[in-house]
Amino acid sequence: MKNNKNYGTCFIFSAPSGTGKSSLLQNFISKNILNNIFLSISYTTRLKRKKEIDKIHYNFVSKKIFKNMINKKKFVEYSKVFNNYYGTNFNTLYENIIIGRDIFLDIDYKGACQIKKKIKFAKSIFILPPSKIEIIKRLKLRNQDSTINIINRMKNFSKEIKNYKKYDYLIINDDFNKTLKNIKIIIKSERLKTIHNKYKYSRLLNNLLNK
């Protein structure tokens, strides 16, 4: 999919577990920091955690349903993480981009690669934690993972971090409000690019160019 009209932009957000990525994106949307943004809700087969709400945090489905959706090519990307599947619905993503909405995708590196192959104008943002100690602290404080799960996540930490060079933008989430402002700056700068605005202002440009 090429950006040959005034489509919205697909913004991919990736980060190690405990970095605060999901909270940042949900907060950005709920506070309406910028308009015309849609947060894509992924499908997952993992169990719902305390305080999570179906169809708000994730679309929680069984592995049988998920695999059936794979067979029917319902996903623009999907991956298996810690024995659970995660995926982005094809129709939801494209329907919003086509009408000019910017899309936030909360996905890992494998999913990001799949999206980049299909949506050439997608932009990727990697969020880093201020330190390993802070990651462990946050994982324990959120009280959503067992000690074994935290150990497994930390084992995977370096593998996730090493892909940061392949992203368009890099943000350190050492201050929640500052990180929200940095995300806003990225979105606004992308919206000002010529590739988007030449269609938006085509009538004005034609008028100015006519002798």
pLDDT tens per residue, range 54-102: 998 899 999 999 999 999 999 999 998 888 999 999 999 999 999 999 9
Is the pLDDT confidence value at 11 over 90?
yes
Supply the DSSP symbol for 124.
E
The widest CA-to-CA distance across the chain, in whole angstroms, is 71
Distance from chain centroid for Cα 159: 19
pTM score, whole prediction = 0.85
Distance from chain centroid for Cα 191: 17
Q: Given this model, what pLDDT does residue 185 score?
A: 97
Question: Strand ranges (DSSP E) for the chain?
Answer: 10-14, 37-39, 43-44, 59-60, 75-81, 84-89, 102-106, 123-128, 169-172
Which residue, 205, 12, 178, is CA-closest to 105? Answer: 12
The SS3 assignment for 171 reads strand
Mean pLDDT over residues 148-166, rounded? 80
Hey, where are the domains in the chain? 10-206
CATH architecture of 10-206: 3-Layer(aba) Sandwich (3.40)
Could you read off the pLDDT of 164-210 as tens digits, one per residue? 999 999 999 999 999 999 999 999 999 999 888 888 888 898 999 98
Residue 28 contacts residue 183 (beta carbons within 8 Å): yes
Residue 5 contacts residue 199 (beta carbons within 8 Å): yes
How far is the C-alpha of 75 from the C-alpha of 77, rounded, in Å?
Answer: 5
How distant, in Å, are the alpha carbons of 25, 113, 164 from that of 160? Answer: 19, 13, 8
How distant, in Å, are the alpha carbons of 98, 102, 193, 198, 211 from that of 108? Answer: 24, 19, 26, 32, 51
Residue 50: phi and psi, rounded to 5, are -60, 140
